[in-house]
Amino acid sequence: TCGCGRLERGERAREGCLKRKERAGTMINSIFVMSPTGEVLIEKHYRGYVPRTCCDTFWAEVQKSSSPQEVCPVLVTPKYYLIHIQRYNMYFIANVQMEVQPLLVTEFLHRVVDVFRDYFNEVSEESIKENFITVYQLMDEMMDNGIPMTTEPNVLKTMIVPPTILGRVASSMGVGGDKSNVASDLPEGMLSSIWWRKKGVKYTNNEVYLDIVEEIDCSIDTNGLMVTCDVSGEVLVNCKLSGMPDLTLSFTNPAIIDEVNFHPCVRLSRYERDRVMSFVPPDGKFKLASYSVCTTGQAVVLPLYVKPQIHFSGSSGRVNIMVGPKSNLAGRTIEDVVITIPFSKSIASTNLSVNHGTAHFDDASKSLRWDIGKVPKDKSPCLNGSVQLAAGAETPESGPTILVDFKIVMFSASGLKIDALTLSGEKYKPYKGVRFVTKAGKFQVRS
């Protein structure tokens, strides 16, 4: 009787949430997942059947564009709107027949991708095909009648058990085929005010880890001067704490945090008043907050320099690129450095050499990929050589825009510093670990 009552209360709460969101006009008819070749892998319908031929309009736009990034995120047709995102070379498309907030639909599609990655460790055509049943079960729980519902990975895992290698082997052998991975009861705490954390969590070792991951989006002109520079970041948490802990995260310089987006567990009123993040964390891994950095009045110091010299004359060109760390790193190493040079289609051949790392020229895309790896402290990696133009090709008026990728551990591009991470509500003293990571986002250097 108690279980039935709990289910009835859950259904009433679900219906109330649906009615409120339905009045707000947030409804998605169908969601499609397409492979890089245009094959429809998944089609999930929430408000009546929509033929998959609606994706033909989207794919025609992809075919007409020089790159998938140039396709408009919202396509308007006489019957519906197509809102899409592209991640991991896959296309996730929402079909909407009434006006909605496009960013809400986009955010939901990103949540779907994040949940797939959390469940399957990767998002690819193969992983989706191998886990068809789990994919549809997740999409059933994440949306009801076109209304986003449960999108918290930790809550979903209590409702739908993630697939395991042992489970796949047993299923292929026909063992345990009648056993469902869907829970028969609602998760504990689903109807409480702290619905994101289940009750009765216990750990032998209580630990909490924080990763502050920041990305630099930057554009540098031919004179080495910064044209634009934006820094955005995420606070990622891996929580392994028993009971119902209450955490408070404070920063030494919170004023530089701007346009912050919180996980539902964060008490917004407390942050607006004291500029601290107070929250009861979900169990496991989750994103506590994402933010942008207010760069007004302060210049962002870039961690490395890239000095390109690319000149064309007649039917050939000279290439010279030097990379090195700047003096503000305090001994930290720049890792995973990759330089990508998208040359003109008129390039016929290259004769390039490097003094560190490996360089590979792709003749199909006419792009050069220089894998440097870790930047050494005793020398500056250099790339030198020449390129030849195809017969009769026009000499390029300017050099290509160079794309830079890198990662630096224990370095904050924004200068953000954590003051304290305190715990209340429990008697134990947990182990706390904090790590800063700075990565390149859209980092471009004009030549």
Whole-number Å distance between alpha carbons of 407 and 211: 14
What pLDDT is attached to residue 24?
Answer: 44
Cα distances from 125 to residues 38, 87, 109, 112, in angstroms, run 11, 12, 17, 15
With tokens 């924080």, the residue in question is 210
Determine contact, residues 364/348, Cβ cutoff 8 Å: no
Whole-number Å distance between alpha carbons of 385 and 366: 16
What pLDDT is attached to residue 200?
Answer: 82
What pLDDT is attached to residue 12?
Answer: 54
With tokens 């005793």, the residue in question is 378
What pLDDT is attached to residue 365?
Answer: 85
Cα distances from 160 to residues 5, 92, 114, 220, 406, in angstroms, run 22, 22, 15, 47, 37
Closest CA to 100 of 23, 178, 163, 42: 23
Whole-number Å distance between alpha carbons of 149 and 155: 11
Determine contact, residues 413/230, Cβ cutoff 8 Å: no
Q: CB-based contacts of 197: which residues, under 8 Å, 6+ apart?
A: 154, 189, 244, 265, 280, 281, 282, 283
Under-50 pLDDT residues of the chain:
1-7, 9, 18, 20-25, 178
Closest CA to 275 of 418, 70, 93: 418
Determine contact, residues 410/339, Cβ cutoff 8 Å: no
pTM over 0.85: no
Determine contact, residues 306/323, Cβ cutoff 8 Å: yes
Strand pairing class (207-220; 431-446): parallel
What pLDDT is attached to residue 374?
Answer: 93
With tokens 């980092």, the residue in question is 443
Strand pairing class (81-87; 90-96): antiparallel
Tokens of 206: 């209580």
Strand blocks (E) in 275-430: 276-279, 284-293, 304-313, 316-325, 334-342, 347-354, 358-362, 367-373, 382-389, 401-409, 418-424
What pLDDT is attached to residue 26?
Answer: 56
Whole-number Å distance between alpha carbons of 140 and 144: 7
Whole-number Å distance between alpha carbons of 28 and 44: 10
